[in-house]
């Protein structure tokens, strides 16, 4: 019982150390930039919070849900920070690039309107990545059972290539679904903002 309590406390301790470090570095940046630039501290705080939201939070959710027990070094706070940052970059930035390429540039928009629309995409992607991670964790048993059934069927019909084909089809379907959801959300946001393509 005490071993479980110690493990739980060390997990929370590493999270607290990591978030405290992020907070201290953020305050240092705000103070330094406030002294040496004309930007107000409130604007700097907004930019830092949005950077944490986009470049750290999705990866942190994924790490807490799936990789919380992973230890790469003796300092779990640094491990979680690096994994969170890396996973956020991989998910949010790559999906943002794909959405900008296929959804935004596919529309015939004015330059100013396109910039407004591009600013909406990262928060939408962050929300979708976090919702997808939580949904997959919540429904993991049901998804695993369905995946095994599909995998068995594909292997029976296609042989050794069945598993690979299923993975490729599932990835393509997931990306197409994500792109469709983002395009629909982008279309609704454009209508709400009163933006009309040419």
Q: Taking 60 as the threshold, does the pLDDT of residue 198 lie above it?
A: no
Give percent of the chain with pLDDT exceeding 70. Answer: 88
Confidence of residue 1 (pLDDT cuts 50, 70, 90): low
44-48, 55-59, 194-198: the lowest-pLDDT one: 194-198
198 against 85, higher pLDDT: 85
pTM: 0.74
2-6, 23-27, 29-33, 39-43: the lowest-pLDDT one: 2-6
13-22, 104-113, 148-157: the lowest-pLDDT one: 104-113
> DSSP letters of 176-193?
HHHHHHHHHHHHHHHHHH
Q: Are 84 and 60 in contact (CB under 8 A)?
A: yes
Give the pLDDT of residue 60.
92
Q: Taking 80 as the threshold, does the pLDDT of residue 61 lie above it?
A: yes
Mean pLDDT for 130-148 is: 87
Give the pLDDT of residue 85.
92
Confidence of residue 103 (pLDDT cuts 50, 70, 90): low
**Mean pLDDT of all residues belonging to the chain:** 82
Contacts of residue 80, Cβ cutoff 8 Å, sequence gap at least 6: 14, 15, 18, 60, 63
Q: Taking 60 as the threshold, does the pLDDT of residue 146 lie above it?
A: yes
Q: Taking 60 as the threshold, does the pLDDT of residue 122 lie above it?
A: yes
Q: Are 77 and 103 in contact (CB under 8 A)?
A: no
Q: How far apart are CA 88 and CA 56, in angstroms?
A: 6
Q: Name the residue among 53, 189, 173 with its Cα closest to residue 122.
A: 53
């Amino acid at each position: 019982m005490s071993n479980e309590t110690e493990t739980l406390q060390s997990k929370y301790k590493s999270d607290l150390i990591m978030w405290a470090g992020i907070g201290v570095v953020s305050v240092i940046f705000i103070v330094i930039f406030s002294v040496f630039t004309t930007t107000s501290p409130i604007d700097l705080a907004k930019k830092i919070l949005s950077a944490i939201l986009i470049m750290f939070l999705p990866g942190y959710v994924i790490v807490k849900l799936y990789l919380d027990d992973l230890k790469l070094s003796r300092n779990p706070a640094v491990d979680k920070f690096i994994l969170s940052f890396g996973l956020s970059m991989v998910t949010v930035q790559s999906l943002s690039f794909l959405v900008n390429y296929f959804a935004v540039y596919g529309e015939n928009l004015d330059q100013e309107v396109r910039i407004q629309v591009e600013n909406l995409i990262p928060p939408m992607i962050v929300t979708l990545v976090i919702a997808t991670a939580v949904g997959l964790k919540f429904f993991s048993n049901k998804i695993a059972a369905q995946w095994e059934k599909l995998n068995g069927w594909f292997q029976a019909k296609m042989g050794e290539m069945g598993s690979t084909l299923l993975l490729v089809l599932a990835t393509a379907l997931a990306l197409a679904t994500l792109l469709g959801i983002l395009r629909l959300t982008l279309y609704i946001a454009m209508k709400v903002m009163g933006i009309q393509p040419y």
